[in-house]
Amino acid sequence: LIASPDGSCATARKHVLTETEERAGVIPGPKEQTIIEVNGLRCAVIICADAGIEGLHENLKTRGVDYRLCPAGGGGKMSEMLHEADLLTPEGRSSYEKNRPRVFKAEAILGEKECPHTGFASANALGPVGKQTYHQGHCMIVDNQRVVRAQIPGTNVIEHMRDQMIHAELEFVERSAAAD
């Protein structure tokens, strides 16, 4: 559910479902993403695995989308989670280092493959889901020049998980104008 300051509402539903969602009877949303307007900008709401829909970015460009809003629930297995004490062991430190690239982008500017057409704001779920899955969090704000403006890294250390908020003020300059 998307609520606007004027009181109007819109909905966006995930199209690409997990097996668990299908078994639970979740009905997929439409393949075409919901477009909302925020301060005059056309924003597409792309939920989780829908980011992998073939032809998505060409479709968004054709529809005049200025920015992407990307809520996600990309998780890991409970068995992959660590506790603070695990970081005192070589195995725990190795596991943490191996997991880090999944939940943190070290690059200051993302490539075209990772950030085609428009920038995005993403927010990943944080915490346990059922008994087998644990969402590690990871939030990013990337502007239309692909510059990472704000980021909260995810983590596979349970004690490191905290509610946090990121903020960035963005200027929207068309890429063709920025290239001149």
β-strand pairing of 41-45 with 75-77: unpaired
Other CB atoms closer than 10 Å to residue 161's CB: what's the count? 18
Q: Is residue 35 part of a domain?
A: no
Taking the C-alpha atoms of residue 136 and residue 114, their distance in angstroms, rounded to an integer, is 20
Other CB atoms closer than 10 Å to residue 88's CB: what's the count? 9
Q: Are 165 and 148 in contact (CB under 8 A)?
A: no
C-alpha dihedral (48, 153, 151, 176), degrees to nearest 10: -60
Q: Is residue 47 part of a domain?
A: no
Q: Is residue 21 part of a domain?
A: no
pLDDT attached to residue 34: 93
pLDDT attached to residue 120: 94
Helix residue ranges, H only, 19-115: 19-23, 56-62, 90-103
Q: Are 148 and 110 in contact (CB under 8 A)?
A: yes
pLDDT attached to residue 174: 63
How far is CA 81 from each of CA 6, 57, 124, rounded to the nearest angstrom?
A: 42, 33, 16
Q: pLDDT per position in the chain (180 positions), as tens?
A: 888 888 888 899 999 998 888 999 999 999 999 999 988 899 999 999 999 899 999 999 999 999 999 999 877 888 889 999 999 999 999 999 999 998 888 888 888 888 888 899 999 988 888 788 888 999 999 999 999 999 999 999 999 998 889 999 998 876 554 444
Q: Is residue 129 part of a domain?
A: yes
Q: Is residue 119 part of a domain?
A: yes
Structural domains in the chain (count): 1
pLDDT attached to residue 180: 44
Chain-centre distance of CA 38, in angstroms? 18
Structure tokens at 150: 């704000």
pLDDT attached to residue 5: 80
Predicted TM-score (pTM) of the model is: 0.86
Q: Are 140 and 114 in contact (CB under 8 A)?
A: no
Q: Are 63 and 42 in contact (CB under 8 A)?
A: yes
Q: Is residue 83 part of a domain?
A: yes
Q: Is residue 56 part of a domain?
A: no
Q: Is residue 171 part of a domain?
A: yes
- Domain containing 107 equals 73-179
Q: Are 133 and 170 in contact (CB under 8 A)?
A: no
